[in-house]
A and B are shown apart, each in its own frame.
Chain A
Amino acid sequence: MGMVQRIWQARTSYLLVLPILLLYGVFSLLPIGQTFFLSLYNAKIVSLGEFVGLGNYQSLVLHSGFRQAAANTVVFTAICSLASIAVSLPLAALLHLRMTRARPVLQAIYFLPVVTPGAAIGYIWKWLYDTKFGLLNTALLAVGIEGPRWLSDPKLALYSIAAVMVWATTGYFMVIFLAHLDTLDPALYEAAAIDGAGTVHQFLYITLPLLRGAISLVLILGIIFFMQAFVLVWTMTRGGPGGSTHLITTLSYQQAFMTGSPRFGLSAAASTLLFLAILLCTVVAARVTRFLEDA
Chain B
Amino acid sequence: MIKPRNASPNLAGQAAGVRASSQVTPLARLRRHLPALAVHCLLAGGAIIFLLPYYWMVLTSLRPPDQVHAARLDLVPTTLSLATYQKIFSDATITIGRWFVNSLIIATGATLLNLSVSHLAAFALARRPPPGGRLIFFAITATLMVPGEVVLIGMFFLVNRLGLLNSYPGIILPLAVHAVVFLILYNYVKEIPRELEEAAMIDGASTWQVFLGIITPLSFPALSAGAMLEFLHSWQAFTIPYLLVTTNDMYPLSVAILFQETELYSTVQETLTLATVLSLPAVLLFLLTQRRVFDGITAGAVKK
Contact = CB atoms under 8 A, between A and B. Distances in A.
Interface in B207-222: 207
Determine chain A's interface SS by DSSP, over half rule.
helix
A72 B56 CA distance: 30
A95 to B, nearest CB: 7
Given A34-B157, A100-B39, A113-B50, A20 B113 contact: no
A268 interface: yes
Interface stretch (B12-20, B70-78, B89-97): B70-78
A230 B149 contact: yes
A16 B121 contact: yes
Sorting the interface of chain A by its residue count into under 10, 10 to 19, 20 to 34 or 35 or more gives: 35 or more
B1 interface: yes
Interface residues of B, number: 99
A84 interface: no
Interface string A197-228: 00100000000000001000100000010011
Contact of B297 (A38, A175, A235): A175
Given A7-B130, A31-B158, A32-B151, A138 B71 contact: yes
B239 to A, nearest CB: 5
Nearest to B47: A109
Nearest to A198: B35
B102 interface: no
Contact of A213 (B238, B297, B303): B303
A140 to B, nearest CB: 11
Interface stretch (B79-87, B192-200, B270-278): B270-278
Contacts of A256: 152-153, 156
Contact of A115 (B42, B52, B174, B286): B286
Contact of A112 (B54, B139, B145, B261): B54
Interface in A97-139: 97-102, 104, 106-113, 115-120, 123-125, 127-128, 130, 132-133, 135, 137-139
Interface of A: 3, 6-7, 10, 12-14, 16-17, 19-21, 23-24, 26-28, 30-38, 91, 94-95, 97-102, 104, 106-113, 115-120, 123-125, 127-128, 130, 132-133, 135, 137-139, 141-142, 167, 171-172, 175-176, 179-180, 183, 189-190, 193, 199, 213, 217, 224, 227-228, 230-231, 234-235, 249, 252-253, 256-257, 264, 267-268, 271-272, 274-275, 278-279, 282
Interface of B: 1-2, 4, 7, 9, 35-36, 39-40, 42-43, 46-47, 49-54, 56-57, 60, 68-73, 113, 116-118, 120-121, 123-125, 128-131, 133, 136, 139-140, 143, 145-158, 173-174, 176-177, 179, 182, 207, 232, 235-236, 238-239, 243, 253-255, 257-258, 261, 268, 271-272, 275-276, 278-279, 282-283, 285-287, 290, 293-294, 297-298, 301-303
